[in-house]
Amino acid sequence: MIIRIWAGQVMAGHIEEFCEVLTSKVLPQLGRTEGCLGGELLRSVTEGGHRVLVVSRWRDEAALLGYAGPMWRIRPVWSEGELRYLAHPPEVTHFTPVPVP
């Protein structure tokens, strides 16, 4: 399993609307993507927090390749409509779970 973290800095005054877009449109669509094992939206809790993370779990590299293409390791996926909410393009990082003994 691979954990993909999509991180975005949302422009002031747009956090509520952007979170609504992510929860009503983006996450359901992501959940229907072949190889996606689920995902969730996280919002920063700091005062004036405008940072969001979409944390998704993927079956394997082949699933991520199918979703994000050959540059999946460095290429964030977003729609043009989402960019109007963001202060700059999003970033993406990946992790693998470490079993706890």
What percentage of the chain has pLDDT greater than the value 90? 78
pTM assigned to the model: 0.90
Whether the pLDDT of residue 92 is over 90: the answer is: yes
Cα–Cα distances (Å) from 42 to 27, 36, 39, in that order, read 12, 18, 10
Query: How wide is the angle at C-alpha 48 spanned by C-alphas 42 and 52, nearest 5°?
Result: 20
Convert the pLDDT of each residue in 32-58 to its tens digit.
Answer: 999 999 999 999 987 667 899 999 999
In sequence order, which ranges of 7-47 are alpha helices (DSSP H)?
15-21, 27-31
The pLDDT of residue 47? 66
d(CA 41, CA 52): 7
